[in-house]
A and B are shown apart, each in its own frame.
Chain A
Amino acid sequence: MLKIENVTARPQDDPSAIIKNVSINLEKNKIYVLMGPNGSGKSTLAKVIEGDPKIILTEGSLAYKKIDITPKEPNERSLMGIFISRQNPPQISGLNVFSYLKLIYGKHHKNNLSPGEFSKLLDSEMNKLQLPLHFKERYLNEGFSGGERKKMEILQMLLIDPELIVLDEIDSGVDIDSLKTILRFLKQHHKRKKSTILFITHSPEVALKINPYKMFVMKEGRIVAENGKILIERIKNEGYETL
């Protein structure tokens, strides 16, 4: 599904979060976890997949469904079915949630829903996510709690219905009940869509709950280990130092 080959990249605004010669291969219909200490380059990797213009790619390439997407813009990647949820989703004052969601839904789907039909779809997804319906009339993420922002990310993901999902610390700043809801949704989506998910987290407990097919560990900008669940247990007990 996604093949990252020998990528070396550095963020313009934070040269320390450089990643070096990273290669990973994500298969269709599989769930992966990426862990690593702070500043190891995990978010930089997510941004490389997103195509963030603030990341300078000095070497390597990315292939999505065997297409070279290295030169593609983030919106093109999005329309191809790649979704990256942000660790800190920004607030956008004055941008009405309903209009925004309808706009992005329209971008990703050919069927043209009327505002009424879309509202129905949206209501049902929001109810399932336990997001109050009046959030539709609010401004995007303005005054939202950390958990609400993350749910808004998941809501966007559901509406976009992507095939490759990268979740950058979707569990941080989220209470245990919200996290349960979010994880349940991801599993359902994965089952239905047969999507590929890369889950970036700090928490071995969360990683275990996700029950990934494979897990990667990043340290100082490199992938230092790659294994099954056993690796999570090891990090849980020993931390990253021995890796």
Chain B
Amino acid sequence: MKDMKLYNPATKKTVEKISSAKNEPEWILEYRLNSLKKFEALRNKATPMEKKLLKQINYYKDPAAKKKNKWEDIPAEIKETFDVLGLPQAEKDFLAGIETQYNSEAIYGSLKRRLGKKGVVFTNIEKGLKNHPALFKRYFGKLVKPENNLYAAANGAFWSGGSFLYVPSNTQIKLPLQAYFRIGALNLGQFERTLIIVEKDSSAHYVEGCTAPSFSEEALHAGVVEVFVGENAHMRYTTIQNWSKNVQNMVTKKSSVERKGRMSWVDTNLGSKETMKYPSCYLRGEGSFGEMLSVTYSTKGQKINAGARMIHEGMGTKSRVISRSIARKGSEANYVGELRVEASAKNTKAQIRCDSLLLDEGAKSKSLPKLEIKCGRSKIEHEASATKLDEERVNYLISRGLTEMEARNAIIQGFIEPVIRELPLEYALEFNKLMESQIK
């Protein structure tokens, strides 16, 4: 049921309401209104199902919770989600910074003083815009454009909440910076916006984990993430996606990488009804490196399209894609990606490896990489496979005393191990736990 007081449709009025509530500069309002125009144009070409979904969702939810700094004050509902994920309280000490999203407004935890002293900014996107207008002028919206796709356009118009991370030059952040997102109200469209800037010779690891309770109607998650990796800087962006099975997860993530910089997307998908997510790396600087490590697990009623877009522009750039997907019960797990090597990108190396494991007869998987190679002097490798769970291996483990369930789990977890081992330990354990509970 729609609470009309809380409901905001996709209109100019809603855009203006958001912008004035956030007290935004004029140029951001213009950006929003321009995005709205693009959104309206793209919506005309949308499928009937998309149109229906876009009619249902609420485009803005007023701030529902005050910002809090202490763990003790974080709402019980959110703490419960942490428990589901098996996150022990003691772990907070390991966290370099905590942020939690509640009803599309961010509740931010404390960022350790140490990081602040180094000049690191880790805050919500609104505060980032307010306090660092010059950085926003320079970077905001420069990678993801409203014309990129329908959902990026919607995000451009209605974005609210999300994170801002700025790492000044010569600064190494060793502990992963973690952020949790969840959908907290009926039919709430989440249009988070994340902007990350890692300057020259610096490094950071950002972790985003998502869970959501079940809803009776469709919900949309259409986040936008922009990551700028400076010269010789290293950035890793890890996602654990476990939206409830009614969420449409349409995310646009892009990064640009300068000379000798390294960008790594680690992307794991367990939940959502449908996901479309193709993080990209624009490898601009000479000798830059882009990587995507992806795991998807899909079951009944799910369709997951995940993949990477690697765009080689600089000389001697390298990219690597490892995708492992597991599908069962008639679900679909596809690799959809793009590899583009521009004429300027001499001596490029690119490797794409997509494997899928089909757990039963109805499950489907396709590998659809689009290759566009404009420079002959490049080394491209592409391999794809789709296999069934090998009964001989299962039987081998059973003959050594394992139950059939244990044997199957050992092989399935082994299949995704090359990606899972790249997750921070607690997430790797969580992921395996969530997956085991699914397979049972």
A interface residues with partner B (beta carbon < 8 Å): 50-54, 73-75, 77-79, 84, 86, 89-90, 92-96, 100, 103-104, 107-108, 139, 156, 160
Contacts and interface: CB of A to CB of B under 8 A. Distances in A.
B410 A54 contact: no
A55 B397 CA distance: 17
25 contacts: A53-B395, A54-B395, A73-B398, A74-B399, A75-B399, A75-B400, A75-B403, A78-B398, A86-B396, A92-B396, A93-B414, A93-B417, A94-B413, A94-B414, A94-B415, A95-B414, A95-B417, A100-B410, A104-B400, A104-B401, A107-B400, A107-B401, A107-B402, A156-B400, A160-B400
Contact of B414 (A74, A75, A86, A92): A92
Contacts of B401: 75, 78-79, 104, 107-108, 160
B128 interface: no
A104 B399 CA distance: 10
Interface-central residue, B390, B395, B403, B411, by most chain A CB under 10 Å: B395
Nearest to B407: A75
Contacts of B395: 52-54, 74
4 shortest interchain CB distances as A-B pairs: A94-B414, A94-B417, A107-B401, A78-B401
Given A95-B414, A100-B410, A90 B393 contact: yes
A139 B392 CA distance: 17
Interface residues of B, number: 23
Given A78-B401, A108-B401, A94 B396 contact: no
A86 B400 CA distance: 11
B402 to A, nearest CB: 6
Contacts of A89: 396
A118 to B, nearest CB: 16
Interface in B406-428: 406, 410-411, 413-418
Contacts of B417: 93-96, 139
Contacts of B400: 75, 78, 104, 107, 156, 160
Interface string B6-34: 00000000000000000000000000000
Contacts of B397: 92
Nearest to A106: B401
Contacts, number: 68
B397 to A, nearest CB: 7
Interface in B268-315: none
Contacts of A86: 396
A95 B410 CA distance: 7
B268 to A, nearest CB: 15
Interface-central residue, A54, A94, A100, by most chain B CB under 10 Å: A94
A24 to B, nearest CB: 20
A75 B398 contact: yes
A92 B399 contact: no
Contacts of A77: 399
A50 to B, nearest CB: 5
Nearest to A50: B399
B398 A104 contact: no
Contacts of A92: 393, 396-397, 410-411, 414
Contacts of B416: 94
Contacts of B411: 92, 95
A54 B390 CA distance: 13
A73 B404 CA distance: 10
B407 to A, nearest CB: 8
Given A78-B398, A92-B411, A156-B400, 13 more contacts: A50-B399, A78-B399, A79-B401, A84-B399, A92-B410, A93-B414, A94-B413, A94-B416, A95-B414, A103-B410, A104-B400, A139-B414, A139-B417
Interface string B353-395: 0000000000000000000000000000000000000111101
A74 B411 CA distance: 18
Contacts of B413: 94-95
A100 B414 CA distance: 11
A89 B396 CA distance: 8
Interface-central residue, B390, B392, B399, by most chain A CB under 10 Å: B399
A51 B401 CA distance: 12
A224 B158 CA distance: 83
Given A53-B395, A74-B395, A89-B396, A103 B414 contact: no
